[in-house]
Amino acid sequence: MAWKNFVAMGDSFTEGMDDSYPDGTYRGWADLVAARLAVEAGPDFGYANLAVRGKLLDQIIGEQLEPALAMQPSLVSLAAGGNDVLRRKVDPWALVEKLDSVVGRMRATGADVILFRFADVTAVLPGQRIVGPRAAALNDGVGQIAERHGAHLIDLFADKTFHNPLMWSADRLHMSAAGHRRVAGHVLKALGVGVKEEWLLVPPMPAPTPWLLARGADLRWAGQHLAPWIKRRLAGASSGDAVTAKRPELTPVKAIA
């Protein structure tokens, strides 16, 4: 099936952090998917990416849903809730209820919808005993939503390749270029579209780090990435406060065969 356009909604995962173009802007899985879909659809194919880093589910719904629907998308992706489960107080099943309503609205327009069960990052993040069950509940709920509404479900949690630290960037939260390519491969396969095989290639698993060196790396990570995140939380700020969507309107995209 050749879709006439593709609108991507969400947070940093869909914005493309940390897969950088040469100019420092972010590419990510959604850009890769759009470029491949453009091959099937031809030069009139349009792509918009409304995702902004740091956004919570309510912000994504409030800021992105109506603009997305106004574009009359034939294909739309929604990946949201990841930032919510990192907050101190959150009800994951309340997130699921909101997502269900949004997906229902999008499917009612006739759009095909892409949803995600997120890959497991809790093994390398602090507080996994708290965050893990919340993330699992969100993933389970999204799976149920996809089945109920006939959406395409991309199950990244089931892909053990994402246990490889090289699939993640230095902040241990966002995907590396290799991670984004693999996500794009999963999406295209689910859509029945051919994918570049190298997008699914996995870097060799790095050798185990000696305990002392690993603890030193943990300390450096905490200073460079965890501490600024905590500071923003305490200040009520977000990494996306001064960021706008990189592709707020449907525009042509260069095809990748």
**Three-state SS across 27-63?**
CHHHHHHHHHHHHHHCCCCEEEECCCCCCCHHHHHHH
Q: Using DSSP, state whether 231 is helix, strand or coil.
A: helix
| Residue 21 near residue 236 (C-beta atoms within 8 A) | no
5-252 classified as CATH 3.40.50.1110:
yes
According to the model, what pLDDT value does residue 221 have?
64
Q: How many CB atoms lie within 10 A of CB 44?
A: 9
According to the model, what pLDDT value does residue 130 have?
64
Instruction: Say what the pTM is.
Output: 0.91
Cα–Cα distance, 18 to 119 (Å, whole number): 16
Work out the angle at residue 37's Cα, subtended by the Cα atoms of residues 62 and 140, and round it to the nearest 5 degrees. Answer: 50
- Domain range list for the chain: 5-252
Question: Amino acid identity of 245?
Answer: A
According to the model, what pLDDT value does residue 23 have?
86
Half-sphere exposure of 204 (CA within 13 A, CB side): 3
According to the model, what pLDDT value does residue 181 have?
95
According to the model, what pLDDT value does residue 158 have?
95
According to the model, what pLDDT value does residue 123 have?
64
Q: Which tokens in the block code for residue 32? A: 């890769």
| Residue 121 near residue 138 (C-beta atoms within 8 A) | no
According to the model, what pLDDT value does residue 229 have?
66
Strands (E), the chain: 5-10, 46-49, 75-79, 112-117, 152-155, 247-251
The pLDDT tens digits along the chain (257 residues) read 679 999 999 999 999 998 988 888 899 999 999 999 999 888 899 999 999 999 999 999 999 999 999 999 999 999 999 999 988 789 999 999 999 999 999 999 999 999 999 998 776 665 566 678 899 999 999 999 999 999 999 999 999 999 898 999 888 789 999 999 999 999 999 999 988 888 888 888 887 877 777 677 777 766 776 667 667 766 777 776 778 999 999 999 987 76
Q: Which tokens in the block code for residue 105? A: 């609205």
